[in-house]
Chain A
Amino acid sequence: MMNANILLKYENKWVALSKDRNKVLYTAKTLDNLFKKISQVKKDDVILHYVPPFDGHLSM
């Protein structure tokens, strides 16, 4: 089970997680920039994940 504490530094940012969700491998303010950062990485090695703001609930 992933520990959400690994996301504490990345509020309202995009992160690339390891496949086991235990590590943040790359981070960027925008998804566009994250795509640039992971361009040299094997696509199958990451899960892209948006970290929502911590001060509110999600309701779509």
Chain B
Amino acid sequence: MSKITGYSYVPQILQDPKGQKFIQSYLPLIPVNIAKPSGLVSPQFDALLDSGSDRNLFPMSLAKYLDITFENLKPKKIYGIGESPINAFPAKVTLWLGNKSYATDADFSTKQNLPILGRDGFFNLFKSVKFDEKGQFVYIEEF
């Protein structure tokens, strides 16, 4: 039987539509660490599970902290909301979830604040990632 780990959604602040009061909204954020292969490990940080993202996308500050450099690499374009793409640089990283590590890839951009876990690079490391919107839990099943 595969191991399944559940993570409670994390509450965030949202202004109500009239802008008069704050309400809580819940996001599927999970705590992960990343490292340069055979290098320094980052502190744990919350990353958004985003099944609509092709790949992992992290703030450039994480690459800087881990001493990941992108010399002689051309930026790749990441398209999302709006018409303009953002530039990002790919790197091989080790991603830690709990006490397990996974060799994977991630893109880093100066234009991205919220760390994002995408399908290719996170979701494909697991047998399944199931969102329980009503219960506000996400269940990650290992292979």
Contact = CB atoms under 8 A, between A and B. Distances in A.
A and B bound?
yes
Interface of A: 1-5, 7-8, 11, 16, 21, 30-32, 35, 38, 43-44, 46-52, 54-55, 57-60
Contact of B44 (A1, A11, A32, A48): A48
Contacts, number: 79
Interface stretch (B58-66, B68-76, B87-95, B125-133): B58-66
Contacts of A48: 43-46
B4 interface: no
A1 B45 contact: no
Interface string B104-143: 0000000001111000000000000000000000000000
A38 B44 CA distance: 12
